[in-house]
Amino acid sequence: MQARSAGLTVNLRQTQPFALDVSFEAPPGEITALFGHSGSGKTTVLRAIAGLQRTADARILCGDDVWCETATRAWRPPHLRPVGFVFQDYGLFPHLSVREQVDLALGHRPSAERPPRIQALLELTQLQELGNRRPAALSGGQQQRAAIARALARDPQVLLLDEPFAAVDWALRESLRHELVALQRALSLTVVLVTHDFEDVAKLASHLVVLERGRVAASGTVEDL
């Protein structure tokens, strides 16, 4: 289940509804953290990468693949971008089981391929015994893993995580950090992680982009910064 890995080049600018001037690169197969206070533009950047939000001037590349370029009017809609997105509240459908959540994200695959793929993803995220449970019957950590399994079902080149540990307590957060690092390394995924907790940066990321009021205050490797 090796995922393809490609780096991101992101250039976003706008003046309304709030000022944004952000440029950075996320290296392939690494975890890049977008770090800053609430309102600094982190989630807007993540949504722009996924194609869920447009900015006045944008250029987003995944490797050599152009996802968005205002100058040439290039635009790839969200469902055609090889992106997995894990929202802050996980965004699981309350009426679907874990297995059904993952199956829903496998619409791009033939029906015959889906059952073994679902089982492989549940095993990868340690949910093989919980596939028939709905979100209300899962712990916070299990819900997060279900959201990650669903995101990985899209065969993403890039995994986007928006404050992935905000909804869990401190003890569980530490365990989930270890699981995320193990998963990222196993798949060699390019990950962009939004956080306002520097402990996430220190324990997860190799690269860091610090945002302040919609601008990049610093960018580079975590070691250098």
Please answer whether residues 103 and 154 qualify as being in contact, where contact means their C-beta atoms are separated by less than 8 angstroms: no
Mean residue pLDDT of the chain comes to: 92
Sign of torsion, CA 89 95 99 103?
Answer: negative
pLDDT band at 170 (very low <50, low <70, confident <90, very high): confident
What b/e readout covers 6-29, taking b as 16+ CB neighbours within 10 angstroms? bbbbbbbbbeeeeebbbebebebb
The runs of H, that is alpha helices, within 59-208 are 98-104, 114-124, 140-152, 170-187, 198-204
Please tell me the predicted confidence (pLDDT) of residue 59. 98
Report the predicted TM-score, pTM, of the whole model to 2 decimal places. 0.92
pLDDT at residue 4, as a whole number: 57
Residue 207 has pLDDT above 80, yes or no: yes
Listed residue (15, 101, 83, 5) closest to 46, CA to CA: 83
- What average pLDDT does this structure show over 188-204? 93
What is the SS3 assignment for 189-215? CEEEEEECCHHHHHHHCCEEEEEECCE
Gap between the Cα atoms of 94 and 89, Å rounded? 12
- Residue 214: what residue type? G
How confident is residue 130, by pLDDT bands cut at 50, 70 and 90?
Answer: very high
- Rounded Cα distance, 144 and 148, in Å: 6
